[in-house]
Amino acid sequence: MTPLLYLAADQKSADVTDWPDRIGWIVGLLLFITLVYWLMRQGWKWRGTLQGGLPELPSAPSERGAAKLELSGRYHGSTTAGQWLDRIVAHGLGTRSRVELTLTDAGLDVVRPGAADFFVPAQALRGARLDKGIAGKVLTEGGLLIVTWALGDKLIDSGFRSDRAAEQADWVTALNDMTDPKTTTTQTDTTEGAAR
């Protein structure tokens, strides 16, 4: 026999796929993914139950006044103030969405298509800053507008990202001017002086 014939005689065809074994692995993987998804959903519901003591979100008053600033972008969620990983999910605050923000003398109007809208009265605003992250979203330094506000006795940080990131610095200035006690006192004194 020639060497080529020896090689041809030694070669075997590939083993046929073991279909029952493969189907078993696929079904097991699908069950595992389903279990992980179910556990995540239960954790989300449990977090909402733990936060059930939060008061209802304020709705916008009929008279809000003229818009000082407007912003179109994305809402990335809310956390306990100063704890960027402690997500708040009660009252739909954990739902990401598109957002339209309007700042007036009355407060901050947050309109979210497909999610619950809410209004932050001016007296509930505590300040604003640019930051790089909030639970579930991390960007470059200064990529997120974080607004701190009070809901009942709980301080909340809400994260927004404008479609035009350059305008976020103007929002920080305007919100901090509204919440700065010195600015508020000066404005009140000026108004009282004008009335005299």
Q: Comparing 70 with 114, which gets the higher pLDDT?
A: 70
Q: How confident is the model at residue 181 (pLDDT cuts 50, 70, 90)?
A: low
Residue of 108, 124, 196, 121 lying closest to 160 (CA atoms): 108
pLDDT tens, position by position, 99-151: 999 999 899 999 999 888 899 999 999 999 998 878 777 777 778 999 999 98
Checking if the pLDDT of 186 tops 50, the result is no
pLDDT tens, position by position, 7-53: 555 566 556 677 788 888 888 999 999 989 888 877 767 766 666 67
Checking if the pLDDT of 95 tops 80, the result is yes
Write down the pLDDT at residue 93: 85
Angle, nearest 10°, between helix axes 168-179 and 181-195?
60
Q: Comparing 73 with 85, which gets the higher pLDDT?
A: 73
Write down the pLDDT at residue 48: 63
Q: What is the CATH T-level fold of the domain 69-187, as seen in this structure?
A: PH-domain like (2.30.29)
